[in-house]
A = this chain, B = another copy of it.
Amino acid sequence: MPDRRPKKASHTIDVVLLTAVRAQLGVLLWRTPEGREKWSLPWETARGEGLEASAARAARAVLGSDPAWMEQIGAFDDSKRHPGEAEISVGYVGLISVGTPSPVGGNYAWFPLSDVPQLAPRQRAILDTAVSMIRLRMDQSPVAFKLLPQMFTLTELQHMYELLLGKRLHKASFRRALTGAWLVEPTDEWRSEGRGRPAQLYRYAPRKRRPAQRGIRLDLLSS
């Protein structure tokens, strides 16, 4: 990614790649060639190809494949300097399904969010915004599903929601809401995971819903 040719680019594209790692969110960082233990978000200089394209290129260069989902976070200046010396950076967040092969071990590593090393201030802001945006959008985007493989058990899905929400959910309520929303459909496969009853596998398959005439949720305000 970071091949710095024209010294000061007008703007860079910085990518926050997230996945679930050991009951936490994890972010993929790149070891900079300069310092021994300096880490950075993967980033690209703009090449006049469009922001989405730049972000996709950056992600593909790291992963070898496209993220399951990607969205822009916003533009950042944040006074402080950027590794690429650019005036502004445009942040993108991408979600990686668990199980996707990733280049761990080389100059890349997954860091749990609770244990992220020091980053350039602007990149730290990009990361924080990415995470809070993901958590905010859970209701409007199929975020949890994009962090899971195509087929998953309902318990895995619930754990993913708990991870993102940061709180425990009740099994029965979760499943009732899920079937009411028509988001998943069962497959005819089952998975036996050690001891206990095997779990049925589901896939993400949102269906049309009736308009769902619920009122406004003013209680979400002033949270």
Contact = CB atoms under 8 A, between A and B. Distances in A.
Contacts of A88: 11, 46, 51, 75, 90
A161 B216 contact: yes
A209 interface: yes
Interface stretch (A27-35, A61-69, A100-108, A135-143): A135-143
A142 B216 CA distance: 13
A80 to B, nearest CB: 11
A171 to B, nearest CB: 12
Interface in A56-93: 72-79, 87-88, 90
Contact of A218 (B74, B183, B217): B183
A38 B216 CA distance: 38
Contacts of A76: 51
Interface stretch (A16-24, A113-121, A174-182, A192-200): A174-182
Contacts of A218: 139, 177-178, 180-181, 183
A204 to B, nearest CB: 10
A212 B217 contact: no
Interface string A207-223: 10100101111111111
A89 to B, nearest CB: 9
A60 to B, nearest CB: 19
Contacts of A136: 140
A219 B72 contact: no
A165 interface: yes
A217 B139 contact: yes
B212 A219 contact: yes
A207 B219 CA distance: 11
A221 B75 contact: no
8 contacts: A10-B87, A46-B88, A48-B87, A51-B76, A173-B215, A177-B218, A209-B223, A217-B217
Given A74-B75, A88-B90, A217-B217, 9 more contacts: A46-B87, A136-B140, A173-B215, A174-B216, A177-B215, A181-B218, A183-B218, A206-B222, A214-B219
